[in-house]
Structure 1
Amino acid sequence: MADDKISENIEEYLEVLYRNGSNGEQVSTTMLSKELEIAPGSVTQMLKKLESLGYIVYTPYKGATLTTEGMKIAQKITRKHRILEKFLTDVLKIKPENVHDQACEMEHTLSDEAEMALCKMLNNPDLCPDDHIIPACNFDFKNCQECGSQHDFDQVIYRSFNLLSISELTSNTEGVISFIRGSPELLDDIADLNIKIGSHLSYEFNENRLSNYFLVTIDDRELNIPLEMANNIFIRV
């Protein structure tokens, strides 16, 4: 289950902060107030509380950014929400207008074991029905095949660091490729480009980049990575 020491209210705040600032962007109080439909004064009080808990860095009149710990929690709850949306849409055929609210109700109580089982059943999806990235799991695997061969959840180890996919990068970023998601076919296509775990990746943000491609430097080689691959190659941050 989601950590019972963390209230659903806190998880909702962290989820919105992640959705709007996953790559370290500052999220304004105004934006939080609008998305959560909560008065700005109440949002400010919660941000102060979140900072005291070590989940964010808050700058008055400017906004907040997630800390490493805050991002860890935010990614986890966001991942569960989007996997549930995928399950509700593709398997249960829930009406699209009801999917988000259903997922919101379920995400806080979905166990990590059930999350893993859903991911395997759905063939390791990278996008939710609204085409938003499903964050990487926080289990210590290098790829989905390692996860698929692990049948005893009690033996699963958690990562000690956070990940971002190439397609989530919205500013100049460097990191080490630490997880590659997807089918055996996609993994083979990525390997054919000599992209592997442990490779160093750097990305320079460019608003005028080619649509559906990300220009990155991997181990001193410039590559244009197509969106499907970019969604599934994750760097340690």
Structure 2
Amino acid sequence: MTKDATISGNIEEYLEILYKLGPHKEIVSTSMISEKLKIAPASVTQMLKKLDNLGYVNYSPYKGAILTDDGLKIAKKVTRKHRLLERFLCDVLKIKSHKIHDQACEMEHSLSDDAERALCHLLEHPNKCPGDSVIPECDLKFTSCEECLKRKEDDVEEVGKRNQNLIPIIDLKDHKKGKVSFIRGDYKVIRRLLDMGITIGAIINVIKVAPLGGPVEVAVRGSKLALGHDIASNVFVEAIDDKRC
């Protein structure tokens, strides 16, 4: 398996679509990608085979493709840049809503990681784009937005990037566990979570995720809590495999 030193905008576009259609690493059919990108199925198949060879997807003929961990990292990064740009275009530049998506698509592939981080600071670490889709967490080696702000003078290269793909508590399945690794929000959010016993390194056991944006019932440090959807969407964990427990 070989990977390109640089990733083309075309590859990023495919990975972004795969993430949008299968955010939890579900298999996405060739026809779904073809319809979304308005590209012939044969061309989609050819690209999926290339992405499989690069290690970004696992492709199954006549079924479709599923993102690998490496592919998911890239897909989340591009999606994050796109949705931050949409927030910027909407809130700061006041671009008309029907023009925002296409403009963000043109800009996302050229936005550097340092510019992405600065944009997040400027926008005060938003969690959703104007269309109400969740903005993926950053991949920097921070445990909170507050920690990132304290080191805002450091370049991304100095900070480093985490190896794991994190997921918000809201995306954990019933009876699954995760270790808290990143909290999005200001000091008020961190303080509120601290009062509930939810700190970096804490093990969260999801009891039940209510449908339609309802609360998430969890167990942490021997206590049971009901977390609102917004809070559960901004606490990110490293999923724990039951086999390791």
Same fold (TM over 0.5): yes
Kindly indicate whether residue 189 of structure 2 is the aligned counterpart of residue 186 of structure 1. Answer: yes
Partner of 1:175: 178
**Unpaired stretches in structure 2, ≥5 consecutive residues:** 240-245
For 1:12 and 1:210, locate their aligned partners in 2 and report how far apart those are by CA, in whole Å.
29
Structure with the bigger RCO (C-alpha within 8 Å, sep 6+) is: 1
Partner of 2:124: 123
The number of residues matched between the two structures is 234
Written as runs of structure 1 = structure 2, the 5 A alignment for 1:23-38 is 23-38=24-39
For 1:100 and 1:220, locate their aligned partners in 2 and report how far apart those are by CA, in whole Å.
45
SS in 2 for 1:196: coil
Alpha-carbon deviations, 1:122-167, whole Å to 9, x = none? 1110001111111111110000111001112152111111111123
Distance (whole Å) between structure 1 residues aligned to residue 222 and residue 179 of structure 2? 13
CA–CA separation in structure 2 for the residues paired with 1:10 and 1:203: 35
Instruction: Determine if contact 2:179/2:237 at 8 Å carries over to the other structure.
Output: yes
Contact 1:23 1:170 in 2 (8 A): no
Matches within 5 A, 1:139-158: 139-150=140-151, 151-153=153-155, 154-158=157-161
Cα distance in structure 1, aligned partners of 2:113 and 2:163:
16
Alignment of 1:10-159 (within 5 A): 10-150=11-151, 151-153=153-155, 154-159=157-162
Q: CA deviation at 1:202?
A: 3.6
2:234 is matched with 232
The code of the aligned residue for 1:57 comes to N
- Secondary structure at the counterpart of residue 216 of structure 1: strand
Q: Tell whether 2:204 aligns with 1:201.
A: yes
Amino acid across the alignment from 1:86? R
Q: After superposition, what is the alpha-carbon deviation per residue over 1:71-127, rounded to whole angstroms, capped at 9, x for unaligned?
A: 111111110000000000000000000000000000001011111111011111000
Q: What secondary structure is seen at the aligned counterpart in 2 of 1:57?
A: strand
Q: For the structure 1 residues 218 and 37, does the alpha-carbon distance in structure 2 shift closer, same or farther, using more than 3 Å as the test?
A: farther
Unaligned runs of 5+ in 1: none
Between 162-171 and 24-33, report the one with greater CA deviation: 162-171
C-alpha displacement of 1:204: 6.2
